C-alpha cells in the first residue's frame, strides 16, 4: 500500500465542482428538470422548495468529496488484500493478455491490475479522482510513467438532474503508454473520444471487482434512478463495441457469494444470469468461456458495501460462506 499519499490533483476537484454547480443550479435547464422530474408531496416544487433543494445539494458536495476519498482509501486497503491473495494474477492468467494489446479497464480503482500486468498500452478510467491519483502513484512507483486526467464538474443532466461529468480531454493521448482518465462507465464519453482521436479501438475491455456502491455518478439528492451493477454490466455488453474492436474481448470479473451454508449453488451479489444476458445481447457479443476463482471476503470497513438483493444492502450476511469471482471472457462481434 502507498504510505503518506497526498492528493494534489484530486483535492482540487471540490472547488471545481462547487463553481460548476453554482452555474448549473442557476440554469434554466436545471429549473426545467426540477419542475418536470422532481415532486414534493406529489406536487411540483415551489420556489422555496427549489431553493432548499439547491442548498441541500450544495452542502452535499463537500460530503461527496469526503465519500470519494473514503471510498478510494477503503478500496486501496481491500484491493491490496486481493493483490496479496493473488487475485489480480489469476485474473491476468485467465485473460491471457497479449503484450501488444491495448487494454481499457473500466473502474480502474487503485491500479492493481495494471501494476500486475506491468506493461504499457493501458487506459484506465474511473470517476473517482482520488482513486485515479492512487493508481497514478502506484504505477509511477513501478516506473510506468502514467499520465493522469482526473477533472470532472457538475453539469445538468436531463435524467439525473445534477450529475458529476468528466471534463472532455483536449490533448491527444499516447495510447502506447499508460493513461488514467476521469470517465463515467455509464457513458464512456471521454474514452470514445480518446480512442476516436487516435483512430483505434481497444483490443480488450476489463470490468472486474465492481459491485461496491456506485455512489459517484450522480449527486444523490437530485438523483432519479440509482444505477445498479446490472445496468453497468448490461451497458458494457450493449455498448462495448463503441470502445472495443470487432473480435476484441471483454473480461468481466463479477463477485458472487453463497448465502446459504447448506446450499452449494452460488448466488451473485447482484443477480447475474449470464445465459439470459448473453442471449439478450447476442448480436453484440458472444460468451466465449468462464470460470470461477476464490475471493477473500471484503467488509464494509474496507469501503466496500455489497448489495445483496432483499437483504440489508450494506451488510454481508453472516451466512455468506463462499466468496467467488466469476470470470467471463466475451468476444465482441
Ligand X SMILES: C[S@@+](CC[C@H](N)C(=O)[O-])C[C@H]1O[C@@H](n2cnc3c(N)ncnc32)[C@H](O)[C@@H]1O
Q: Point out which span in 32-40, 124-132, 287-295, 314-322 binds ligand X (CB under 6 A).
A: 124-132
Q: How far is the CB of 157 from ligand X (least distance, A)?
A: 13
Return the residues of window 100-119 that contact ligand X according to CB under 6 A.
105, 107-109, 112-113
Q: How far is the CB of 246 from ligand X (least distance, A)?
A: 25
CB neighbours of residue 212 within 10 Å: 23
Nearer to ligand X by Cβ, of 185 and 277: the residue is 185
Nearer to ligand X by Cβ, of 34 and 91: the residue is 91
Q: How far apart are CA 140 and CA 69, in angstroms?
A: 20
Told to check if 179 binds ligand X by CB under 6 A, we report: no
R_g (Cα) of the chain, nearest Å = 20
Nearer to ligand X by Cβ, of 179 and 214: the residue is 214
Q: How far apart are CA 176 and CA 182, in angstroms?
A: 18
Q: How far apart are CA 92 and CA 101, in angstroms?
A: 13
Return the residues of window 199-218 that contact ligand X according to CB under 6 A.
208-210, 212, 214, 216-217
Q: How far is the CB of 48 from ligand X (least distance, A)?
A: 33
The residue to which cell 436531463 is assigned: 158
Please choose, from the candidates 243, 230, 228, the residue with its C-alpha nearest in 3D space to the C-alpha of residue 181.
Answer: 243
Which DSSP string corresponds to 103-140?
Answer: EEEES-TT-HHHHHH--S-EEEEES-HHHHHHHHHHHH
Q: Point out which span in 37-45, 58-66, 125-133, 149-157 binds ligand X (CB under 6 A).
A: 125-133
Told to check if 157 binds ligand X by CB under 6 A, we report: no
**Which residues, 6+ apart, have CB-to-CB distance to 141 below 8 Å?**
2
Q: Which three cell numbers stand for residue 53?
A: 433543494
Q: How far is the CB of 166 from ligand X (least distance, A)?
A: 9
Told to check if 184 binds ligand X by CB under 6 A, we report: yes
The residue to which cell 470514445 is assigned: 192
Q: How far is the CB of 25 from ligand X (least distance, A)?
A: 22
- End-to-end CA, the chain: 39
Q: Which three cell numbers stand for residue 227?
A: 444505477
Number of residues forming the site for ligand X (CB under 6 A): 22
b/e per residue, 267-284, with b = 16+ CB within 10 A?
bbbbebebeebbeebeeb
Told to check if 191 binds ligand X by CB under 6 A, we report: no
- Per CB under 6 A, the list member of 10, 33, 61, 79 interacting with ligand X is 79
Told to check if 240 binds ligand X by CB under 6 A, we report: no
Told to check if 185 binds ligand X by CB under 6 A, we report: yes
Binding mask 269-288 for ligand X (x = CB under 6 A): --------------------
Return the residues of window 59-78 that contact ligand X according to CB under 6 A.
75
CB-side neighbour CA atoms (13 Å) of 333: 10
Interface residues with ligand X (CB under 6 A) are: 75, 79, 105, 107-109, 112-113, 126-128, 131, 184-186, 208-210, 212, 214, 216-217
Amino acid at each position: 500500500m502507498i504510505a503518506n499519499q497526498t492528493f494534489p490533483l484530486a483535492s482540487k476537484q471540490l472547488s471545481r465542482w462547487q463553481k460548476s454547480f453554482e452555474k448549473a443550479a442557476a440554469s434554466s435547464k436545471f429549473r426545467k428538470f426540477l419542475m418536470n422530474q422532481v415532486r414534493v408531496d406529489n406536487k411540483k416544487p415551489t420556489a422555496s422548495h427549489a431553493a432548499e433543494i439547491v442548498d441541500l445539494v450544495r452542502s452535499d458536495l463537500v460530503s461527496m468529496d469526503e465519500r470519494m476519498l473514503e471510498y478510494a482509501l477503503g478500496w486501496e486497503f481491500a484491493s491490496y488484500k486481493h493483490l496479496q491473495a493473488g487475485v489480480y494474477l489469476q485474473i491476468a492468467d485467465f485473460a491471457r493478455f497479449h503484450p501488444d494489446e491495448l487494454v481499457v479497464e473500466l473502474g480502474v480503482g487503485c491500479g492493481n491490475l495494471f501494476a500486475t500486468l506491468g506493461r504499457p498500452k493501458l487506459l484506465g478510467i474511473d470517476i473517482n479522482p482520488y482513486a485515479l491519483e492512487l493508481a497514478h502513484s502506484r504505477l509511477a512507483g513501478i516506473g510506468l510513467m502514467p499520465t493522469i486526467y482526473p477533472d470532472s464538474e457538475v453539469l445538468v443532466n436531463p435524467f439525473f438532474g445534477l450529475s458529476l461529468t468528466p471534463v472532455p480531454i483536449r490533448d491527444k493521448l499516447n495510447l502506447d503508454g499508460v493513461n488514467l482518465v476521469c470517465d463515467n462507465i455509464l457513458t464512456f464519453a471521454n474514452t470514445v473520444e480518446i480512442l476516436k482521436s487516435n483512430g483505434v479501438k481497444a483490443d480488450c475491455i476489463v470490468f472486474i471487482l465492481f459491485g461496491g456502491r456506485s455512489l459517484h455518478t450522480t449527486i444523490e439528492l437530485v438523483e432519479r434512478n440509482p444505477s445498479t451493477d446490472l445496468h453497468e454490466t448490461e451497458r458494457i455488453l450493449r455498448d462495448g463495441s463503441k470502445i472495443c474492436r470487432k473480435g476484441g474481448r471483454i473480461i468481466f470479473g463479477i463477485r458472487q457469494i453463497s448465502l446459504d451454508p447448506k446450499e452449494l449453488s452460488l448466488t451473485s451479489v447482484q443477480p447475474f444470469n449470464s445465459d439470459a444476458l448473453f442471449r439478450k445481447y447476442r448480436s453484440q457479443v458472444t460468451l466465449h468461456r468462464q470460470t470461477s476463482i476464490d475471493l477473500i471476503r471484503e467488509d464494509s470497513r474496507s469501503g466496500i458495501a455489497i448489495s445483496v438483493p432483499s437483504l440489508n444492502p450494506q451488510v454481508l450476511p453472516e451466512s455468506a460462506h463462499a466468496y467467488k469471482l466469476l470470470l467471463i471472457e466475451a468476444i465482441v462481434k
